[in-house]
């Protein structure tokens, strides 16, 4: 009953954080399958994911991590608590910011700076150095912060925005390249309803969220060992409070490899046996296409050989 099977083939719908011009839209533009389909702008990550769960969209593009501010908490928490979702792709968008004001404004006039909190964090060193006494007015999106200046809805004196904003709005450029890290990127994931993972490419990533069985440091050690003892590197490990009490965490993890790899399947089963709650978010190709590296002793054939050997032991084969 997916749109693809209708006649003529219905177009697919992709939800993303709007309005037009956001970094999220730039991420969606990287998806070949999304071309000429319906792009549905939404106002928060919960709405984007609910669109998918309830069938209004086929997939949602959401920001999940950036290199300066870390994991996007609301996205991580939504994935941890909304069932029926699966990550199917990963996309990187370089992040670059300008400071803009109303026409005629100068940097010396700026006291209140509108910015999405993540963008604000990415420019904080610059702001503390250049505008040490500024105050921060959080905005709902990178674009909204700037638009608010010109439509009179905002009291801010300046806004942090993507450079492209100057092409669409009548704004004064107060400073360029104000991000603290010139190599900053934001990582986005494309999320669909639960489906079988795409086949492994050799350059894959597996995302999951796991809770610890109880509150002691050994539990986190044991969680990490599920991966390290199978030669699996983790590219992301973030703690998020479960929310019921101080000191209770779930861990958001990106592991190198695919659930179809023997070592990853074995690690996931180990994790499942250990953790009171594991959410598998998906195995999908890495945005950077970097081939997964691992010691030879964790290759698929070693796992297969050990299974055959065990079978021989149990059957009493003389050669085993």
Of residues 193 through 252, those in contact with its own copies by CB under 8 A are 193-197, 213, 216-218, 220-222, 224-225, 227-229, 232-241, 243-247, 249
Q: Does 320 bind its own copies (CB under 8 A)?
A: yes
Task: Respond yes or no on whether the N-terminal peptide bond of residue 8 is cis (omega within 30° of 0).
Answer: yes
The residue range among 7-15, 102-110, 161-169, 296-304 that interacts with its own copies, by the rule CB under 8 A, is 296-304
Note whether 28 and 61 are within 8 A (CB): yes
Note whether 240 and 250 are within 8 A (CB): yes
Minimum Å distance from CB 36 to its own copies?
26
Q: Does 260 bind its own copies (CB under 8 A)?
A: yes
Q: Which member of 10, 38, 150, 265 binds its own copies (CB under 8 A)?
A: 265
Of the pair 172, 222, the CB lying nearest its own copies is at 222
| 69-98 residues near its own copies, rule: CB under 8 A | 69-70, 73-74, 77, 84, 86
Q: What are phi and psi of 247, to 5 degrees?
A: 90, 0
| 13-72 residues near its own copies, rule: CB under 8 A | 43-44, 46-47, 50, 65-70
Q: Does 176 bind its own copies (CB under 8 A)?
A: no
Of the pair 7, 296, the CB lying nearest its own copies is at 296
Minimum Å distance from CB 234 to its own copies?
5
The residue range among 8-16, 21-29, 158-166, 268-276 that interacts with its own copies, by the rule CB under 8 A, is 268-276
* Helix axes of 45-53 and 73-81: crossing angle, nearest 10 degrees: 30
Q: Does 277 bind its own copies (CB under 8 A)?
A: no
Q: Which member of 181, 202, 290, 291 binds its own copies (CB under 8 A)?
A: 181
Of the pair 121, 150, the CB lying nearest its own copies is at 121
Of the pair 102, 193, the CB lying nearest its own copies is at 193
Residues pairing with 92 in the sheet: 187
Burial of 38 (0-12, 13-18, 19+ CB in 10 A): middle
Minimum Å distance from CB 169 to its own copies?
18
Integer Cα distance of 284 and 149 in angstroms:
40
Site string for its own copies, 113-152 (x = CB under 8 A): ---xx---x--x---x---xxxxxxxxx------------
Other C-beta atoms closer than 10 Å to the C-beta of 58 total: 24
What residues have CB less than 8 Å from 316, skipping those under 6 apart? none
Work out the end-to-end distance of the chain between its first and last CA atoms, rounded to an integer number of angstroms.
51
Integer Cα distance of 242 and 250 in angstroms:
6
Q: Does 155 bind its own copies (CB under 8 A)?
A: yes
Of the pair 169, 240, the CB lying nearest its own copies is at 240
Q: Does 297 bind its own copies (CB under 8 A)?
A: yes
Per DSSP, the residues of 211-276 read E-SSSSHHHHHHHHHHHHTTT--EEEEEEEE-SSSTT-EEEEEEEES-TTSHHHHHHHHHHHHH-S
């Amino acid at each position: 009953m997916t749109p693809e099977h209708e006649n003529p083939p219905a177009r697919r719908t992709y939800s993303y954080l709007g309005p037009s011009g956001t970094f999220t839209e730039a991420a969606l533009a990287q998806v070949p399958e999304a071309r000429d389909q319906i792009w549905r702008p939404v106002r928060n990550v919960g709405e984007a994911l609910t669109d998918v769960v309830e069938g209004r969209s086929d997939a949602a593009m959401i920001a999940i991590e950036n290199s300066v501010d870390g994991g996007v908490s609301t996205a991580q928490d939504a994935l941890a608590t909304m069932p029926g979702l699966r990550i199917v792709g990963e996309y990187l968008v370089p992040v670059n910011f300008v400071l803009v004001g109303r026409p005629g404004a100068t940097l010396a006039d700026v006291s209140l700076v509108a910015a999405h909190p993540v963008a604000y964090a990415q420019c904080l060193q610059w702001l503390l150095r250049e505008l040490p006494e500024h105050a921060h007015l959080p905005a709902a999106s990178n674009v909204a912060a700037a638009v608010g200046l010109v439509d009179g809805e905002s009291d801010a004196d300046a806004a942090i925005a993507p450079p492209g904003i100057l092409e669409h709005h009548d704004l004064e450029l107060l400073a360029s390249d104000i991000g603290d890290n010139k190599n900053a990127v934001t990582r986005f994931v494309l999320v669909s309803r639960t489906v079988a993972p795409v086949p492994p490419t050799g350059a894959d990533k597996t995302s999951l969220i796991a809770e610890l069985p109880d509150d002691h440091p050994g539990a986190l050690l044991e969680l990490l060992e599920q991966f390290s003892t199978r030669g699996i590197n983790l590219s992301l490990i973030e703690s998020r409070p479960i929310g019921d009490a101080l000191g209770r965490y779930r861990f958001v993890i990106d592991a190198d490899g695919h659930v179809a790899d023997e070592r990853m399947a074995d690690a996931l089963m180990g994790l499942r046996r250990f953790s009171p709650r594991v959410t598998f978010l998906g195995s999908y190709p890495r945005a950077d296409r970097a081939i997964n590296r691992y010691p030879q002793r964790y290759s698929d054939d070693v796992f297969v050989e050990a299974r055959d050997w065990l079978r021989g032991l149990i059957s009493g084969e003389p050669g085993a």
